[in-house]
Structure 1
Amino acid sequence: MALPIDTAPPTPLAYFASLVRDDDHVPLLEAAVSIAQDEYPDLDVQQVLGDMDQLLERVRRRCAGDAGALQRLRVLNQFFFHDLGFGGNVNNYYDPDNSHLNVVLRTRRGIPITLGVLWLELAEGLGLKARGVNFPGHFMVKINLPDGQVVIDPFTGQSLSREDLSERLEPYKRRQGLVDDYDVPVGLYLQAAPPREILARMLRNLKEIHRSQADWLRLIAVLDRLLILLPDAWDEYRDRGLAWAEMGEARLAVEDLDRYVTHTDNAQDREAMAQRLAELRQALN
């Protein structure tokens, strides 16, 4: 007898897991859009991808067939930042919707990383050699041209010189003690970020928003995705365990904190979490 076929669609988390399973084939835009399914369970991811395809066709029609890379870049920036009006949500930077690409696409307002992901999709569709950059404190995009590299702030559309980038790095370097003999060149901060790292940065932005608002349920949903993306990120197990504890779910908290205490290299934090773990185990007895 034939077994019944399960025709139920995958859960949003299973769908996300299927997208990020293989490092060599992570569809950045699709995976990034799917993050919004936690907040918008009826979201049609394919519709959002179709909307981006339409934008790509519009910008392609503006490029002459023999246009060089620099000309295509100029057309793209005019189209994206000026004609469509994409830009940073200056008035409400910490709105979680700035991390939901379906909303960013509709409102044309977002944060550097979500604007950057949309820009990258169009740039790659135009045949440009564009990549994302996990620059400290501010996601960037870069493009390799025949005459050199251009770095763009997707929040403003501004092209940044080496001097601009060095100036933005100064506060970070001082905090990290990277001065004088310990200084490192700007180029080291401009390495191309693979899709997995870009998605992790998107999720960690949401994580900090939900944690600052003590929104434990949404925080756990984000951490579920982070742990699918980065299964050896032990700090995320700790943070999910603490969130479960805040929700009164001691058994789930114990599972996560036990995994963290077993694997972490942070001896000082391990001691504090081991004490919290003991308290939770006692509450279960």
Structure 2
Amino acid sequence: MRERFPLPEWNSLAGLDDDTMPLLSTALLIARDEYPSLDADLYDTLLQEHAEALRGEIDAIDAWPLKMAAINRHLFDELGYSGDSDEYYDPRNSYLNQVFERRRGNPISLALVQIEVARRLGVPLDGVSFPGHFLVRLPVDDGLLVMDPFNRGRPLGVDELRERAKPHLGGELPDDGALLHILNPASHRAILVRVLRNLHSVYAESDDWERAARSADRILKLSPDQPEALRDRGLAYLRLGHTGGARHDLARYLQRHADASDAAAMRERLVELSAGSARMH
């Protein structure tokens, strides 16, 4: 029987533009790698139930910030979604099915839940690839309402946003123009790539190189021109003993990113791989 909420095929995603790449179904496709029996219909229905429980209340509210406050109250106070401060780097916090089941997540997975519920209620919520923690934003009459999904959707003022960005900008506070640029909406592709980068980082840190390679490979399915993902997959292949794949990926990385700060180290790895291959022959 055909799924009511079918997931896309990995090989179809690179050809989609950023506006048409499906957010929820691709996030669940990422999760299906780790949870093959995942029922996508179940989670689509659950999200719809979250939204329908709010529809009457949201329709009766005129102001966008008040609509968003009602959504946040329902998700974080009534349904119990929260940031997983105790096990922040638990990979389950990046797999959306587990976020639904456990009501725990990291900033970007909780943002995905917020975005999906809000948009089903007609509230134009977007993600923000803010340095450090992922945020969400909502256009309002006098500018932007920026919120932190990891902290129950708490609104963030301009001064706090500047301070949060400062460590990632060489210790400099961003001016108005730089801050607005940082707060640009993230495309669906950018959001999904960031989910996979988080997973790659978690798995590489724990020496789970098979899953690290898979995460980098999935980034390349979404965005084939990501040189860092080529490097990361190549290094993971190297750890797994797949020397042919490692040599191929690292060579392509250097072709595309010859001036990278780690280019010399990658060339050294490539020379070692070629020498090892020659000795074997």
1:203 equivalent to 2:196? Answer: yes
- Contact 1:99 1:202 (C-alpha < 8 Å) held by counterparts: yes
SS of the residue corresponding to residue 22 of structure 1 reads: coil
- Contact 1:76 1:123 (C-alpha < 8 Å) held by counterparts: yes
Residue in 2 that maps onto 1:243: 236
Q: State the shift of 1:105 in Å.
A: 0.8
**Cα deviation digits, residues 93-121 of structure 1 (max 9, x gap):** 00000000001011111011000011001
Change beyond 3 A, Cα 1:263–1:90: same
- Contact 2:165 2:173 (C-alpha < 8 Å) held by counterparts: no
Residue in 2 that maps onto 1:78: 73
**What stretches of structure 2 of length at least 5 have no aligned partner?**
none
- Please point out which of 167, 172, 177 is paired with 1:171: 167
Q: TM-score, normalised by structure 2?
A: 0.89
Q: TM-score, normalised by structure 1?
A: 0.88
- Please point out which of 109, 122, 126 is paired with 1:127: 122
Residue in 1 that maps onto 2:272: 279
- Please point out which of 44, 56, 69 is paired with 1:49: 44
SS of the residue corresponding to residue 47 of structure 1 reads: helix
CA distance in 2, matches of 1:268, 1:173: 18
Q: State the shift of 1:41 in Å.
A: 1.2
CA distance in 2, matches of 1:36, 1:100: 5
CA distance in 1, matches of 2:58, 2:149: 21
- Please point out which of 15, 22, 28 is paired with 1:21: 15
Residue in 1 that maps onto 2:29: 34
1:265 equivalent to 2:261? Answer: no
Aligned residue identity for 1:100: Y
- Please point out which of 100, 104, 107 is paired with 2:99: 104
SS of the residue corresponding to residue 126 of structure 2 reads: strand
SS of the residue corresponding to residue 150 of structure 1 reads: strand
- Contact 1:20 1:31 (C-alpha < 8 Å) held by counterparts: no
Q: State the identity %.
A: 38
CA distance in 1, matches of 2:270, 2:48: 49
**Cα deviation digits, residues 3-31 of structure 1 (max 9, x gap):** xxxx9x9xx99723434531131111111
Aligned residue identity for 1:79: H
SS of the residue corresponding to residue 152 of structure 1 reads: strand
CA distance in 1, matches of 2:170, 2:176: 10
Greater displacement, 269-278 / 196-205: 269-278
Aligned residue identity for 1:258: A
The ranges of structure 1 where at least 4 consecutive aligned residues each deviate by more than 6 angstroms after the TM superposition are none
Residue in 2 that maps onto 1:219: 212
- Contact 1:72 1:126 (C-alpha < 8 Å) held by counterparts: no
* Alignment RMSD (CA, Å): 2.5
SS of the residue corresponding to residue 136 of structure 2 reads: strand
Q: State the shift of 1:76 in Å.
A: 0.7
Q: State the shift of 1:36 in Å.
A: 0.8
SS of the residue corresponding to residue 214 of structure 2 reads: helix
Aligned residue identity for 2:169: K
Greater displacement, 219-228 / 182-191: 182-191
- Contact 1:98 1:109 (C-alpha < 8 Å) held by counterparts: yes
